[in-house]
C-alpha cells in the first residue's frame, strides 16, 4: 500500500529514475515552509549564495565537495552539512552523486520576522555529520536525537523498536523518513509500511505512532521543540 487517507508514501529510489541530467532536481515533499528534494550532482556548479535560505546537503550516494566562504568539506554517502543563509558556496562531484537537499521555500516577508542572522564570510566553519555514526550511538528507542538546525527546524534521528506511543503534532506536519530498516506508521486511517529510503508526511493534528519488529532508524523534523505525546489507548 502506497497511501492511506491523507498520507502518501514517497520512494526516493523511484524518484531518482527521473534524474537524467547533471544538477537536475526533483522535489520529494513539502513540510510547511521547507522542501525536501533530491538532485544529481555531477560536474561543478557556479559559486552562489542564498540570501534567505539555509541549505542542508545529505549525500544519498556518491561523493561531493562542498566549497564555501568558510572552506570546503568532502561529503560521502550518509554524511551531511548545512550552509547557512548568506554563505557563498558551490557543490561539485566527479562521480554521478545523488544528494538530498532540504531548504526553505517560503519568502522572508511571509515569516513574520522569524529568522536568524546571516552567516558572515569570516569566523565560521562547516559542520559535517555522519548519519550512520550518530544512529549507532542512539541507545533509547522513541527519543529523538537532534542532528543539526535548518532555518527554524531541527533535523533529528530516532530509533524505533517495538510499538511506540501515540504522537500528536499540532503546529506542523510531521515527517517520517525511514533511514534504515522498516517501520509501520499507524493512524486512525490505517497502516502504512515504510522501508529504507521511503518517507511520508503526516498532516498536523492527526494522531499517529510508529512500530518496528526490529531496530530501525528514522529522520524527523521539529521546530526546536519536542512534539507532544497523546495518551496510549
- Specify whether domain 3-9+133-230 bears CATH 2.40.30.10: no
What does the DSSP 8-state code read for residue 48? Answer: B
Average pLDDT value for residue range 41-63: 94
pLDDT in tens, 182-225: 999 999 999 999 999 999 999 999 999 999 999 999 999 998 75
pLDDT in tens, 6-41: 899 999 999 999 999 999 999 999 998 899 999 999
Residue 121 and residue 88 in contact, taking contact as beta carbons nearer than 8 Å? yes
CATH code for the structural domain at 12-105: 2.60.120.10
In the predicted model, what is the mean pLDDT of the chain?
A: 89
Q: Quote the CA–CA distance of 54 and 82 in Å, as a whole number.
A: 7
Per DSSP, what are the bridge partners of residue 75?
64
Q: Quote the CA–CA distance of 162 and 63 in Å, as a whole number.
A: 34
Residue 65 has pLDDT above 80, yes or no: yes
Q: Do domains 3-9+133-230 and 12-105 have the same CATH topology?
A: yes
Q: Quote the CA–CA distance of 81 and 78 in Å, as a whole number.
A: 10
Q: Quote the CA–CA distance of 148 and 151 in Å, as a whole number.
A: 10
Residue 108 has pLDDT above 70, yes or no: no
Domain residue ranges in the chain: 3-9+133-230, 12-105
Amino acid at each position: 500500500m502506497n497511501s492511506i487517507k491523507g498520507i502518501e508514501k514517497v520512494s526516493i529510489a523511484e524518484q531518482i529514475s527521473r534524474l537524467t541530467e547533471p544538477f537536475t532536481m526533483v522535489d520529494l515533499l513539502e513540510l510547511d515552509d521547507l522542501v525536501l528534494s533530491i538532485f544529481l550532482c555531477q560536474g561543478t556548479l557556479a559559486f552562489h549564495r542564498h540570501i534567505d535560505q539555509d541549505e542542508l546537503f545529505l549525500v544519498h550516494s556518491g561523493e561531493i565537495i562542498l566549497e564555501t566562504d568558510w572552506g570546503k568539506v568532502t561529503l560521502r554517502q550518509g554524511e551531511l552539512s548545512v550552509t547557512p543563509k548568506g554563505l557563498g558556496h558551490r557543490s561539485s562531484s566527479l562521480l554521478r552523486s545523488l544528494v538530498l537537499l532540504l531548504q526553505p521555500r517560503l519568502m522572508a516577508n511571509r515569516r513574520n520576522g522569524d529568522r536568524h542572522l546571516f552567516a558572515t564570510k569570516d569566523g565560521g566553519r562547516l559542520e559535517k555529520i555522519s548519519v550512520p555514526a550518530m544512529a549507532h550511538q542512539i541507545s533509547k528507542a522513541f527519543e529523538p536525537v537532534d542532528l543539526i538546525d535548518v532555518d527554524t527546524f531541527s533535523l533529528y534521528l530516532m530509533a524505533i523498536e517495538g510499538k511506540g506511543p501515540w504522537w500528536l503534532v499540532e503546529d506542523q506536519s510531521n515527517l517520517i523518513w525511514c533511514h534504515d530498516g522498516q517501520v509501520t506508521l499507524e493512524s486512525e486511517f490505517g497502516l502504512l509500511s515504510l522501508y529504507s529510503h521511503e518517507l511520508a508526511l503526516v498532516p498536523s493534528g492527526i494522531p499517529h505512532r510508529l512500530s518496528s519488529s526490529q531496530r530501525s532508524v528514522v529522520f524527523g523534523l521539529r521546530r526546536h521543540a519536542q512534539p507532544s505525546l497523546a495518551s496510549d489507548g
